[in-house]
Amino acid sequence: MQKGRATTKASTTPVTIHDVAARAGVAISSISRVLSGHPDVSERMRVKVLKAADDLGYEPDFFAQSLRSGATKTIGFIIRDISNPFFGVIAQCCEQVLRKAGYSMLLMNSDGDVATENTNISQLRRRKIDGLIASLVSEDVPELQSALEKLNAPVVLLDRKLIGFNSSAILTNHHQGIEDATSDLISRGHTRIAFISGSTRVYTTRDRLKGFKSAYKKAGVAYPTDLVSLGKFDAEFGESETKRLFTLKDRPTALISGGIGSTAGSMRGLKKLGLIPGKDLAFIAIDEWPMFDVFGQQYSSVYRDAAMIGREAAAALLEMMNGGSPRTIVVETAYIVRESSAGGLKAKKK
Q: What DSSP string describes 149-175? A: HHH-S-EEEES---TT---EEEEE-HH
CB atoms within 10 A of CB 36: 12
CA pair distance 350, 348, nearest whole angstrom: 7
pLDDT score at 36: 66
Of 54 and 115, which is predicted with more confidence? Answer: 115
Partnered with residue 132 across adjacent β-strands are 76, 155
Tell me the per-residue pLDDT of 244-261, one tens digit each, with 9 for 90 and over. 999 999 999 999 998 888
Q: Cα dihedral sign for 315, 320, 324, 330? A: positive
Of 350 and 82, which is predicted with more confidence? Answer: 82
Of 15 and 60, which is predicted with more confidence? Answer: 15
Of 140 and 324, which is predicted with more confidence? Answer: 324
pLDDT score at 347: 38
* Per-residue confidence band for 52, with pLDDT thresholds at 50, 70 and 90: confident
Q: What is the mean pLDDT of residues 85-114?
A: 93
CB atoms within 10 A of CB 205: 21
pLDDT score at 2: 47
Max Cα–Cα distance, the chain, nearest Å: 88
Given a cut of 50, whether residue 348 has pLDDT beyond it is: no
Where does residue 346 rank: exposed (0-12), middle (13-18), buried (19+ CB within 10 A)? exposed
* Per-residue confidence band for 14, with pLDDT thresholds at 50, 70 and 90: confident
Q: Domains of the chain, with CATH numbers? A: 17-68 (1.10.260.40), 73-172+307-331 (3.40.50.2300), 174-305+334-341 (3.40.50.2300)
Q: Which residues contact 261 (CB under 8 A, 6 or more apart)?
A: 81, 84, 233, 234, 235, 238
Work out the mean pLDDT of the chain and round it to a whole number: 88
pLDDT score at 60: 63
DSSP E strands: which ranges in the chain? 74-79, 104-109, 131-134, 155-158, 168-172, 193-198, 228-231, 254-258, 282-286, 300-304, 328-331, 333-336
Given a cut of 60, whether residue 104 has pLDDT beyond it is: yes
Given a cut of 50, whether residue 336 has pLDDT beyond it is: yes
* Per-residue confidence band for 309, with pLDDT thresholds at 50, 70 and 90: very high
- Rg of the chain over Cα atoms, rounded to whole angstroms, equals 26
